[in-house]
Amino acid sequence: MRREDLLRKLETRLAEGEISEETYREIKARYDATPEEPPEPPEPMSDAPEEAPKRPPKRSGPLDISAVVGEAVDSAMEQVSKTLEATLGDELHEHMDDVNRHVRRALRHLGPQYDKGQRRVVIRSVGKVALDEPIEEFRCSGAGKVASDLIAEKVRISGACKIEGRCECEVFQASGAVKVNKDLQAKKFRSSGSAKIGGDLRAEDLTVSGMTDVGGSITAETVRVQGTLRVHGQVKAETFRSRGRFRIGEGLEADTIEILLDDTAQVPVIKGKDIVVKRSKRRGALRTKTIQGDRVSVSGTRAQLVRGRDVRIGPQSRIDVVEADKVEVHETARVGERRPHPAEEPSEEEPSAD
């Protein structure tokens, strides 16, 4: 760039207030003291076709996000440095060094962070870890992968995380998207995002307020469904409460079952002591083959058989057969056949030895 063009750009930046008058004078004095280089002769014309720009080589293997970001930042900083140097000279070198230091410091936050003193693993952006021993806490607020089993006291996921092995913990809390390839065991399980468990899910206290898919079965003390639950196996619990949508492949068994139908619910067999199925204002529906309990009250239910000591068939229900000691049927419900509750067969006595 010629001296006249550089000085013209400096005058423009001075007029726009981007540089001070003192800076303008210092740079102008420097260029006035430097002899101007003769202009470079133009390159001779050639009839040969221009070569196409070379494309960067394709990467092989897994993509290293940290490396890609680092290369992009380096390239961008190099272009900025050349432009500013051509305009303002060598005095910006130390400023660019400061900028590069800040960028490198920010890049350290990419990838997993280990705290060996407290045995914590944190993934804030993108990272992959493989753990060979239990830890106290695992956190993922970005995109992470655990290429092993995960055994920790606390697991908290607010981004996207895949656990390739099994997971055992005291507290499991996920508000993003999580996938566990094998079994998951926790005292307290909370999922408000999307969770997919490849094996069985065992927990003392289990709450689903997002979407949870379990490839195996669920065993828990308390199950609360406020979102969508899909279980390919069976669900066994002491208490089961649902006001969302669920689909269970093999059966539901719990002492206390309370279902508020906000949407469709499907399960082949329901067994319990106290079973209550109600319809909300959204008027969902329950589809099942058999409901068996001591005290049964259902609404909006389609079933082949309902059996219990004290049975109430509520509005918008269609039941093929009801077997009960005491039965009450709503005027809008339909019952095909009523039978007495079958007497329990006495246990066979072992034969006495002569």
Residue 196 resides in a domain: no
Largest CA distance in the chain: 128
Q: What is the pLDDT of residues 30-64, one digit of tens each?
A: 767 666 555 555 555 555 555 555 555 555 555 55
Residue 187 resides in a domain: no
Residue with tokens 């609404």: 299
Q: Which has the closest alpha carbon to 120: 155, 167, 161, 146?
A: 155
Residue 333 resides in a domain: yes
CA atoms within 13 A on the CB side of 37: 5
Confidence at residue 297, expressed as pLDDT on a 0 to 100 scale: 98
Q: By percentage, how much of the chain surpasses pLDDT 70?
A: 66
Q: What is the pLDDT of residues 249-259, one digit of tens each?
A: 999 999 999 99
Total structural domains within the chain = 2
Confidence at residue 25, expressed as pLDDT on a 0 to 100 scale: 73
Residue with tokens 């390739």: 164
Confidence at residue 20, expressed as pLDDT on a 0 to 100 scale: 66
- φ and ψ of 232, to 5 deg: -80, -25
Residue 264 resides in a domain: yes
Q: Is the pLDDT of residue 346 over 50?
A: no
* Banded pLDDT at 339 (limits 50, 70, 90): very high
SS3 readout for the chain:
CCHHHHHHHHHHHHHCCCCCHHHHHHHHHHHHHCCCCCCCCCCCCCCCCCCCCCCCCCCCCCCCHHHHHHHHHHHHHHHHHHHHHHHHHHHHHHHHHHHHHHHHHHHCCCCEEEECCCCEEEECCEEEECCCCCEEEEEECCEEEECCCEEEEEEEECCEEEECCCEEEEEEEECCEEEECCCEEEEEEEECCEEEECCCEEEEEEEECCEEEECCCEEEEEEEECCEEEECCEEEEEEEEECCEEEECCEEEEEEEEEEECCEEECCEEECCEEEEEECCCCCEEECCEEECCEEEECCEEEEEEEEEEEEECCCCEEEEEEEEEEEECCCCEEEEEECCCCCCCCCCCCCCC
20 or 157: whose pLDDT is higher?
A: 157
Sequence-ordered list of residues with C-beta below 8 angstroms from that of 156, at least 6 positions apart, any chain: 137, 138, 139, 140, 171, 173, 174
* Banded pLDDT at 126 (limits 50, 70, 90): confident
Residue type present at position 237:
A
* Banded pLDDT at 142 (limits 50, 70, 90): confident
Q: What is the pLDDT of residues 218-254, one digit of tens each?
A: 999 999 999 999 999 999 999 999 998 999 999 999 9
Q: Which has the closest alpha carbon to 229: 250, 240, 245, 207?
A: 245
- φ and ψ of 24, to 5 deg: -60, -45
Mean pLDDT calculated for residue range 280-301: 93
* Banded pLDDT at 350 (limits 50, 70, 90): very low
Mean pLDDT calculated for residue range 73-78: 54
Mean pLDDT calculated for residue range 340-346: 72
Q: What is the pLDDT of residues 292-303, one digit of tens each?
A: 999 999 999 999
Residue 140 resides in a domain: no
For the record, the structure tokens of 65 come out as 């996000």
- φ and ψ of 288, to 5 deg: -155, 165
Looking at the DSSP assignment, which residues form a beta bridge with residue 286?
265, 301
Question: 0.75 exceeded by the pTM?
Answer: no
Confidence at residue 283, expressed as pLDDT on a 0 to 100 scale: 75
Q: Which domain, by its residues, includes 93?
A: 1-33+84-108
Residue 46 resides in a domain: no
* Banded pLDDT at 268 (limits 50, 70, 90): very high
Q: Are 328 and 311 in contact (CB under 8 A)?
A: yes
Residue 265 resides in a domain: yes
Confidence at residue 103, expressed as pLDDT on a 0 to 100 scale: 44
Q: By percentage, how much of the chain surpasses pLDDT 90?
A: 57
> To the nearest whole number, what is the mean pLDDT of the chain?
81
* Banded pLDDT at 94 (limits 50, 70, 90): low
Q: What is the pLDDT of residues 157-203, one digit of tens each?
A: 998 999 999 999 999 999 989 999 999 999 999 999 999 999 999 99
Confidence at residue 317, expressed as pLDDT on a 0 to 100 scale: 96
What does DSSP say about strands 112-115 and 120-123: parallel, antiparallel, or unpaired?
Answer: antiparallel
94 or 287: whose pLDDT is higher?
A: 287
Residue 185 resides in a domain: no
CA 331, CA 315: separation in Å to the nearest integer?
A: 7
